[in-house]
């Protein structure tokens, strides 16, 4: 175990503490998790992915067939947080101004006034994001990448708390398009939502019956933005051993030079992950460790988040697709080959 080096106890304005650097605890986020779990059955990995992205100040891409509660889960997360929430349905006729807003001419003032669009909300649900044209994707990319939007010659900053949760149907569905690689790279993680088990689907029917008979959902006290930012600071300060920095870089480098580890992996991969994947692995591994109640990051934390960080950043060859190889299979095999410190 790569534990942090021992330190003498120190006293701060918060009190006395030793090797435990965190002032916040996962229990403070438990009401958010419970509220989401009360709205959907199962899908625990998906819920964890939303919380990891929330703590890591990143954006989440969610892929799954229609009807798997993707939108319901995102709405439940928004209900649990203090801030503005907006859902926008992406369609082929969507315009960039439908996202960023537009300048409106005020005749009484004799000047143009900017009217903000949905991107100025704290949480944005981009439903079926892969149905929109390229110009709309470009507008969304600037917001995700630069935390700002540009209209004409003016640039407007977005709120400090800004998170995009985008859902997409598999590209095999009619009327969908591949997202640009530059935009995919801006999503911190990609979660894949699968069909529920038989027992879970029975519970879904029971939950639906309960919701039909209840006039109002039970109230929840939302997590404040100050509380969330405090959690993010503690997550960012979680100990990550320098040897694990090397392990993270080795994993990402292996996606670019897979033939050094395995001949088949070399045949299957066209392009590997960018350095942004290394940053994402470190940030999300810290968040995963914090959620688990640990005070330092282990290789297991890195491995647990690696598939969701790498699956949308790796481009497979046509040969791999012909052999039925998926990016998840590629990543899982790579995790068994790259040496753990």
CATH class of 26-210: alpha beta
Answer whether 121's CB lies under 8 Å from 84's CB. Answer: yes
Q: Which two tokens stand for residue 152?
A: 């004409």
Neighbours of 106 (CB within 10 A): 10
pLDDT value of position 208 = 81
- Is the alpha carbon torsion for 145, 151, 152, 155 positive or negative? negative
Q: What pLDDT score was predicted for residue 283?
A: 97
Query: For the whole model, what pTM was predicted?
Result: 0.87
CA–CA gap between residue 59 and residue 266 (Å, rounded): 30
Architecture in CATH of 237-337? Orthogonal Bundle (1.10)
pLDDT, tens digit only, all 341 positions of the chain = 677 765 544 433 343 344 445 588 888 999 999 898 888 888 889 999 999 999 999 999 999 888 888 888 888 999 999 989 999 999 989 998 899 888 888 888 778 888 888 999 999 999 999 888 888 888 898 899 899 988 878 889 999 999 999 998 876 666 677 888 888 999 999 999 989 889 988 988 888 887 777 766 667 889 999 999 999 999 999 999 999 999 999 999 999 999 999 898 889 999 999 999 999 999 999 999 999 999 999 999 999 999 999 999 999 999 998 999 999 999 999 999 999 98
State the pLDDT at residue 12: 38
Q: What is the predicted pLDDT for the residue at 18?
A: 42
Domain ranges of the chain: 26-210, 237-337
- The answer to whether the CB of 98 falls within 8 A of the CB of 120 is no
Question: Cα-flanking dihedrals φ and ψ of residue 89, to 5°?
Answer: -85, 120
């Amino acid at each position: 175990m790569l534990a942090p080096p021992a330190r003498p106890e120190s006293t701060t304005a918060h009190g006395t503490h030793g090797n435990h650097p965190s002032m916040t605890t996962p229990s403070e986020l438990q009401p958010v998790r419970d509220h989401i779990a009360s709205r959907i059955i199962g899908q625990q990995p998906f819920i964890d992915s939303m919380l990891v992205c929330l703590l890591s100040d990143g954006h989440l891409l969610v892929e799954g067939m229609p009807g798997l509660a993707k939108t319901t889960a995102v709405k439940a997360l928004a209900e649990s947080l203090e801030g503005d929430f907006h859902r926008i349905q992406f369609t082929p006729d969507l315009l960039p101004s439908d996202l960023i807003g537009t300048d409106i001419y005020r005749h009484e003032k004799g000047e143009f006034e900017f009217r903000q669009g949905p991107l100025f909300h704290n949480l944005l649900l981009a439903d079926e994001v892969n149905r929109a044209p390229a110009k709309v994707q470009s507008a969304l990319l600037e917001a995700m990448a630069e935390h700002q939007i540009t209209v004409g010659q003016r640039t407007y900053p977005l709120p400090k708390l800004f998170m995009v949760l985008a859902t997409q149907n598999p590209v095999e569905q009619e009327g969908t398009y591949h997202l640009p690689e530059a935009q995919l790279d801006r999503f911190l993680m990609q979660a894949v939502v699968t069909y529920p088990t038989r027992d879970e689907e029975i519970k879904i029917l029971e939950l639906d019956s309960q919701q039909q008979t209840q006039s109002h959902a039970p109230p929840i006290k939302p997590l404040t933005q100050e509380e969330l930012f405090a959690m993010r600071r503690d997550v960012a300060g979680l100990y990550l051993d320098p040897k694990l920095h090397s392990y993270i870089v080795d994993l990402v480098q292996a996606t670019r030079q897979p033939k050094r580890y395995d001949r088949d992996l070399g045949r299957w991969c066209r392009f590997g992950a960018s350095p942004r994947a290394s940053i994402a692995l470190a940030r999300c591994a810290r968040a995963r460790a914090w959620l688990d109640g640990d005070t330092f990051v282990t290789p297991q934390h890195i491995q647990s988040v690696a598939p969701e960080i790498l699956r949308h950043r790796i481009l497979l060859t046509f040969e791999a697709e012909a052999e039925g190889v998926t990016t998840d299979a590629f990543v899982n095999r790579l995790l068994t080959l790259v040496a753990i410190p």
